Structures are given as structure tokens and as C-alpha cells.
Amino acid sequence: MFKFLEPNKIFLITSKAPKYVFFIFIVVLSIGLVEALFISPEDYIQSHSVRIMYVHVPSAWISLGIFSLIALLSVGSFIFKNKNFPLIAKSLAPSGFVFNIIALVTGSIWGKPTWGTWWAWDARITSMLILVLFYSMYILAWRIFDKKEQVIKITSIIAILGVINVPIIKFSVDWWSTLHQNSSVNILSETSIHPSMLVPLLIMTAAFSLFSLLIFLMKYNTELIKIKNKGLDRL
């Protein structure tokens, strides 16, 4: 099962893909920045500070999505004993971590003009901070432990425990009284954001997704070459 996910087969694609992904990312990001900074209208209450949404929201979405994917791959590696799943999960972590940091920092910058404070121990913000800690533990575990079986087990446990925090982050604004506003973009219910703001938001989300794909591909290639370097030593 999952033979198409064998590193040797994937590498034929991942080694060539980064340059194309990089080019598309630059194009989409440029369009997104023009839309977000110059074309989209200011908010009638928050004025121009609403533009921070175009970097804050996609970063938060992607960091949550990547962590969920890491947890899913960790469960998959336990069930299917697939050796490539942990490698894919490991390669996804750096971009997820950076997007998590960006979401927290840009949220803090947005909080100052909107709430009058840089930081509040609010349910949404605190749960996002906990996610950063899980990302840090996950990345550090890969660096600390040497034995392959041991590191896969430990990182998988961290990811599976950490993913419990993902629905808490998502529903924190509904479950507790928080400073953070409710979701404006919903898949299952009505979206309350105006199309003039939704379009730049989606373009920026596409750009950020492309960036995380680019980083994933480069990191995956690095990890695979590391393995091949060890293989050359054994020849």
C-alpha cells in the first residue's frame, strides 16, 4: 500500500518541482500583496488596520492545517508502518512552525490598535501559543533523539497529543468569552466577509500555501539526500 509514496518515486518530482512552485508563489504573492495593501477597501470600524487580516488569518489557517496533517501522517505511520510518512511529517513542520509564529506576532500587532493591548491571555491566543509549544517539541524531538524507531514514536505521540489542541483553537471563540472575534469565513455556514475582502484573503492564502509547499519540497529533498549520504557511507 502507498507504493506511489516511495521516496525514490517521489524524489523524481520533488527534485524538479521547487523552481516551478517558487515562480508561481512569487506571482501569486505579488498579486495578493497589491490586492491586500492597495486595492481592498478599509473597514468601516477598524479602518486600514484590517489589512493585517491578510497575513494573520492565512498564517493561522495554514499552521493549523499543517499540524493536523502531521498528526494524520503520524497516525498513518503507526497503522500502516509506512516509513515515508514520518519523513513527510518532519518536512512539513518548519513551515507550520513559522506560520504559527507569524499568526501570533501579526495577531499581537493587530491587537494593539484594535483591543488596546499587544497580548491577552485569551482562549484563542493562549491555545495558539500552546500549538507553538507543540511545534517546538516536535521539531526539537527530531533533533534530540538519534534512534530512528524511537524518534518516530516520540514525534508521533507529540503530534497526536498536540492535535487535541486544534479543535480547541477552532472552537475557543464559541466555547469561551474571548476578545478574539468569531470566524468570518465559514465552509459550512454563511460567510460574513464582503467579497472585496474575501478575494485578497483567498489570494494570500493561496500564496502562503504555495510557500509552505515550497519549503516542504526543499526540506523533503534535504532529508532524502541526508539518507542517501548515509547510504553512500555504507557502500
Partner 1 sequence: MIEEIIFMKGYGLYVWSAFSFTLISFATLYVLIKINLVKEQNKFTVKFGLLNDAEVKVAKAQSTNREILLSRISSKI
The three grid cell numbers given for residue 56, joined into one nine-digit string: 494573520
148: contact with partner 1 by CB under 8 A: no
40: contact with partner 1 by CB under 8 A: no
15: contact with partner 1 by CB under 8 A: yes
Could you say which of 1, 4, 12, 182 contacts partner 1 (CB under 8 A)?
A: 12
221: contact with partner 1 by CB under 8 A: yes
In whole angstroms, what is the distance from residue 5 CA to residue 11 CA?
10
Instruction: Name residues whose C-beta falls within 8 Å of residue 94's C-beta, 6 or more positions apart in sequence.
Output: 139, 215, 219
Cα distances from 186 to residues 13, 54, 69, 183, 218, in angstroms, run 34, 16, 20, 7, 32
Q: Where are the alpha helices (DSSP H) in 4-120?
A: 7-14, 17-34, 53-80, 84-115
Could you say which of 28, 35, 40, 59 contacts partner 1 (CB under 8 A)?
A: 59
Cα distances from 115 to residues 26, 110, 127, in angstroms, run 33, 8, 18
Candidates 34-42, 72-80, 150-158, 178-186; binding stretch for partner 1 (CB under 8 A): 34-42
Residue 69 or 75 with smaller CB distance to partner 1: 69
Please give the residue ranges that form the binding site for partner 1 (CB under 8 A): 7-8, 11-12, 15-16, 33, 36-38, 42, 47-49, 51-52, 55-56, 59, 94-95, 98, 101-102, 105-106, 109-110, 112-113, 211, 214-215, 218-219, 221-222, 224-226, 228-229, 231-233, 235
